[in-house]
Structure 1
Amino acid sequence: MRRTLLHSLYASLPIFAGGVLNTIAVSALVAVRMQSTAAFIWVAMEVLLAAARLPALMLGRRAIARGRRGPTDLYILLAVLWAASVGYGTFMCVASGDWIAATLACLSAAAMVGGICFRNFGAPRLVAVMIGLSLGPCAVAAALSGEAILLLVMFQIPFYLVSMSAGAFQINRLLLRTMHAEMINDHNARHDPLTGVLNRGGLARWAEERAGRSAGRLAVFYLDLDWFKSINDTLGHKAGDAVLVAVAERLQAIAEGPAEVARIGGDEFVLLMEDIDPDEAQRLKERICNAIAGRGYFVAGERVHVGASIGIALSEDHGNNLAELLEAADMALHRAKADGRTAPDGSEDRRQRLTAAVGEEMPTAAVD
């Protein structure tokens, strides 16, 4: 959400360009008309600030597009200085008594408020500061002008400032609520509601994102829990759900570096590991087996045990397409299950084999 809000500060390049060109043009016309040092100072400030703000804007847009913060603090400081420059121009023109110049400057400042609100709705406090700096000096100059009719401005501008700032805060709150709802919906669409790990949709999204970047080797571990059905049958589905949550937590604890865990079926899990070789995959398989079956699960007032059959597929053997890797790992899983399952209680007198396969049948590892 923060990244999106920061991105909004750098968006709407046409509004930015229109505002910069407008204030430069108005300040130049005022300088030509008034021929005063104060007017020429205003032109110089507008040109210098435009020359500084445009590079900051472009750098920020590129940085945000690449997932970095960008020169946000500098960009905000320059925006505040620009608003102060506009306020300086309005004060100077109204205080001078040249009502044609004052009309140009005040109309320009009022027109800028719309652009300020539309471009900076992600930072409503910035909106309030910029409006105050650009229009506030106009009210001060009206009070000092000696023209009684201009005293009305002293009431109009504060009201305008409050109402437009309130509008910016309201838009910001609406944006945050919308973004939050979208994030929740996106998370729910990609994650398993029980365990919190990825679901099939999230796994597919992960594969798409991985395909868009330079990726190294990938190992797919396809897990199926042994003796899990007996827990559901004897202790109920609530106990089975508790075991699934615990298994997902143990898999997430094992996953290191660029890795993802997904639940793609009732008691079927997938662990994706990047940048590991076949030997590392074998060692990781043993860790997974030990983590799932080496310790029991205390649920419904009883200690229960499950095992794991694992099929493994490696990208160097089966390609980088995740669907093909999952299919190869699934076939390896079926071969592993045909070799044997883990004992349901993990005791020494009922040892069975925890099995795994990589493409072809592989040696088994015995654990309690």
Structure 2
Amino acid sequence: MFGTLPIFAGGVLNTLAVSTLVAYRIPQKQFLIWCVLEYGICLTRLIVLVVAQRAAAERRKTPTDIYILLGLAWAASVGYGTLISLLSGDWVVATLACLSAAAMVGGISFRNFGAPRLAGAMIVLTLGSCCIAAPFTGEPLLMITFLQIPFYLASMSAAGFRLNKMLIVTMRAERENAYRAQHDSLTGLRNRAGLAEAIAARRDGLSALLYLDLDGFKAVNDTHGHGTGDQLLRAVAARLGESTRPSDVVARLGGDEFVILSELLAPAALIKLGERLVTQISAPYDLAQDRTVTIGVSIGIALAPEHGTDLASLLSAADRALYEAKALGKSRAALAPLRKAA
């Protein structure tokens, strides 16, 4: 939002060129100060912008607050240059400075429409100096700036708030659509697509996949109805969330099938985790309408990269282990056989 490079480059080149030319034409202290301010602020903004873009690319926190403050400082510097240029009595210099300020306001309004209050503050700092200087120029016609600039500020602010509202609605819709695409609507857990992305995001490829299938869920669903079944699935999802670590990924593939992507790698630790999940999932559930139901869970476990690195391979291996767990009497965890070294 604040890092549009073409507008930034155009604004920097413009203000640096104007401040340099004005200082060359009138080499007085106040104009030299303006020139130094422009170079210092613009260079600092460029450094912060590059740092921010690199941080954003790496999904790290960006120094946005600092960049916004530098934007306000830059607007104030442009306003200062406009003020001293108007008061200089040199109309070539005044024309250059005012033209530069007016041009910058267009970029400010376009670039910062997502932050209308910031855009308004920058407009005031950039063009407000025209109103301050007008009474001291000896030109009564310049008093019209007291009407022009407030009107321009009001119209640009209104447009900015309207565009900001549209931006927020669009961003929320995109975020919600992205969430729906990767999460189960009933439980809020990740769905198959979200799980596949989580597996792909594991750069080291080291993880374990626990494939859970509820024992006795169909009987509950058939006896008490789908409403009770949905309540039970949400309760199971809640217990899985409480029973896993923050780094683990819990997903629902559909029906009564759940998956946990864990960073645990030791087979003994995974079997222990599976047994703990069996115990916790098998505890009675107090549902609505004073209904208490009990189910079990069978778990198949696969390892990455031993059993594969993609979702399909890991699910296939875990499904075989799950079949073994059910064949042994259900309500237990089984690890898929590891490949023997040649």
- Measured against the shorter chain, the TM-score band is over 0.9
- Shift in Å, 1:214: 3.1
2:97 corresponds to 1:105: yes
Structure 2-normalised TM-score?
0.94
CA shift digits 1:265-311 (9 cap, x unpaired): 21111111114311110110011100111334434422111111111
Range 321-330 or range 242-251, more displaced: 321-330
Q: Which amino acid aligns with 2:171?
A: M
- Shift in Å, 1:257: 3.8
- Shift in Å, 1:177: 0.8
2:211 corresponds to 1:222: yes
Aligned with residue 278 of structure 1, among 267, 270, 273: 267
Aligned with residue 328 of structure 1, among 296, 299, 317: 317
Aligned with residue 63 of structure 1, among 55, 59, 62: 55
Alignment check: 8 A CA contact 2:20 2:35 kept: yes
Q: Which amino acid aligns with 2:249?
A: E
Aligned to 1:5: none
Aligned with residue 307 of structure 1, among 288, 291, 296: 296
2:243 corresponds to 1:266: no
Distance across 2 between alignment mates of 1:156 and 1:110: 12
Range 34-43 or range 178-187, more displaced: 34-43
List structure 1 runs of 4+ shifted beyond 6 angstroms. none
- Shift in Å, 1:182: 0.7
Aligned with residue 197 of structure 1, among 189, 194, 209: 189
Alignment check: 8 A CA contact 2:31 2:81 kept: yes
Distance across 1 between alignment mates of 2:97 and 2:27: 15
Aligned to 2:170: 178
Runs of 5+ consecutive residues of structure 1 not aligned to the other structure: 1-7, 342-353, 362-368
- Shift in Å, 1:261: 0.9
Identity rate, percent: 52
Alignment check: 8 A CA contact 1:311 1:336 kept: yes
Q: Which amino acid aligns with 2:239?
A: R
Q: Which amino acid aligns with 1:144?
A: F
Aligned with residue 356 of structure 1, among 308, 333, 339: 333
Aligned to 1:27: 19
Question: Residue 306 of structure 2 aligns to a residue in which SS?
Answer: helix
2:316 corresponds to 1:339: no
Question: Residue 260 of structure 2 aligns to a residue in which SS?
Answer: strand
Aligned length: 338
Aligned with residue 13 of structure 1, among 1, 5, 22: 5
Aligned to 1:209: 201
2:107 corresponds to 1:115: yes
- Shift in Å, 1:316: 5.0
- Shift in Å, 1:74: 2.5
- Shift in Å, 1:56: 1.4
Question: Residue 271 of structure 1 aligns to a residue in which SS?
Answer: strand
Question: Residue 334 of structure 2 aligns to a residue in which SS?
Answer: strand
CA shift digits 1:24-75 (9 cap, x unpaired): 1111222233333222222121112222221111111112222222333322
Range 90-99 or range 314-323, more displaced: 314-323
Q: Which amino acid aligns with 2:99?
A: L
Runs of 5+ consecutive residues of structure 2 not aligned to the other structure: none
Q: Which amino acid aligns with 1:237?
A: H
Question: Residue 186 of structure 2 aligns to a residue in which SS?
Answer: coil
Structure 1-normalised TM-score?
0.87
Alignment check: 8 A CA contact 1:243 1:297 kept: no
Distance across 2 between alignment mates of 1:241 and 1:282: 28
Alignment check: 8 A CA contact 2:209 2:260 kept: yes
